Structure 1
């Protein structure tokens, strides 16, 4: 196993106003660096600038009034989050995010919405390497029945969350623990570099999404289905259609 498998890692998670990464807003975010020095955590509460739907508040516990009273200005918080991520990526630290295609895509659209340089702008390339335990687990244990939410993988790999999930920092810690379990369960992961795993996950996600969308079509289900790209194109031109600041 390569030495990278013991870290460092930078875990990333958000809680949001909804489930559309192109139009919804970040309400809370957490970055947790885990390396030889231990675990260092930074969290943000953000006033998203829009009403937080009750359905979202019921999940993460942040109401519109709370965010407006105590949340940071989006431009300030988003700049801090982006700077921390870029610093780690530039240093070769893999970013670990559960269902990364949601959180990373959402952050890029948020940065563009508030006229801030995206991660891709700052790096001169798409951000990565990113390690996504959801994609890895789905690829290596593809026929296991049941759902694959973070709570389900915690149960399967016997990861005990320190507190209730759907708090950004708790989700990050659980995600890092699940990644550790995957590395132990599937030692072949450690043979590849994080950059190789990044591209492998891209192919694995496309294969899964194609099959999932075919399944939906056969059952006559409506809706867009799953994006074929794990981390969609994050070029500045693709983000220019982001909703203007309210």
Structure 2
């Protein structure tokens, strides 16, 4: 499939460069040759319109392994703040962290992910929060394909128990318990991104037990 995007001379260079990555049809790649990026956002709440992203954590997966030398952690300087969610993510309005404005954080994130396949747990939320932030700066939406570890986890549950998992929603904590992943760094963006990357690799290993996995199998 060919991707066509409306040209806008007012787009900043980083966004134009990002769109160019998707302008041509990609060659078919084996799963082990693809760059995956597991990512997570910590936010002031769950309202896509009014809440804001406080931090973004991301880490790369290459050749079926987590690449700790290829990761990103950003804290955002936001006017909107919700003291009720501090107990979850621990990010305070004034806590000495180096923060960047939202547009600069988006530039860092977009430059970092490139055309990688993104992975998140309950990915729809993180995708919408990023897209809402992009729209506030008159940019487009994420073009990357995105995998959800919650949906992938249902695949292995269905294989084991042969039951319909369609309406079941697994938390990241439940994945950690089932897949024996440490929860020591939960509820930080970088920590949850790392846990999501581990979960993805463990799910991939379980799926491979039955057959050779193609990238198209992960999106079915």
Q: Could you tell me the TM-score, scaled by structure 1's length?
A: 0.65
What CA deviation, in whole Å up to 9, does each residue of 1:195-227 have, x standing for no partner? x533x2xxxxxxxxxxxxxxxxxxxxxxxxxxx
Q: Using the TM superposition, give the Cα deviation of residue 103 of structure 1 relative to its aligned residue in structure 2, in angstroms.
A: 0.4
1:137 counterpart = 2:158: no
Contact 1:12 1:97 in 2 (8 A): yes
1:118 counterpart = 2:140: yes
Q: What RMSD over aligned residues (CA atoms) do the two structures have, in Å?
A: 2.6
Between Structure 1 and Structure 2, which shows a larger proportion of strand residues?
2
Between Structure 1 and Structure 2, which shows a larger proportion of helix residues?
1
3-state SS of the aligned residue for 1:66? coil
1:97 counterpart = 2:133: no
Q: Could you tell me the TM-score, scaled by structure 2's length?
A: 0.72
Write out aligned runs for 1:33-182 (5 A).
33-35=60-62, 38-39=67-68, 40-51=70-81, 53-66=82-95, 70-85=98-113, 87=114, 89=115, 93-113=116-136, 115-120=137-142, 127-141=143-157, 143=163, 148-161=170-183, 163-182=184-203
Q: Using the TM superposition, give the Cα deviation of residue 57 of structure 1 relative to its aligned residue in structure 2, in angstroms.
A: 0.8
> Closer, same or farther in 2 for the Cα pair 1:6/1:134, shift >3 Å?
farther
Contact 1:8 1:33 in 2 (8 A): yes
Instruction: Report how many aligned residue pairs link the two structures.
Output: 181
What CA deviation, in whole Å up to 9, does each residue of 1:59-118 have, x standing for no partner? 000112238x74211111122212323x1x1xxx311111110001110001111x2413
1:191 counterpart = 2:213: yes
Distance 2:105 2:205 in 1: 35
Contact 2:40 2:120 in 1 (8 A): yes
1:23 counterpart = 2:50: yes
3-state SS of the aligned residue for 2:31? helix
3-state SS of the aligned residue for 1:119? coil
Gaps of 5+ in 1: 121-126, 201-246
Q: Using the TM superposition, give the Cα deviation of residue 6 of structure 1 relative to its aligned residue in structure 2, in angstroms.
A: 6.7
Distance 1:131 1:117 in 2: 22
Name the residue aligned to 1:10.
37
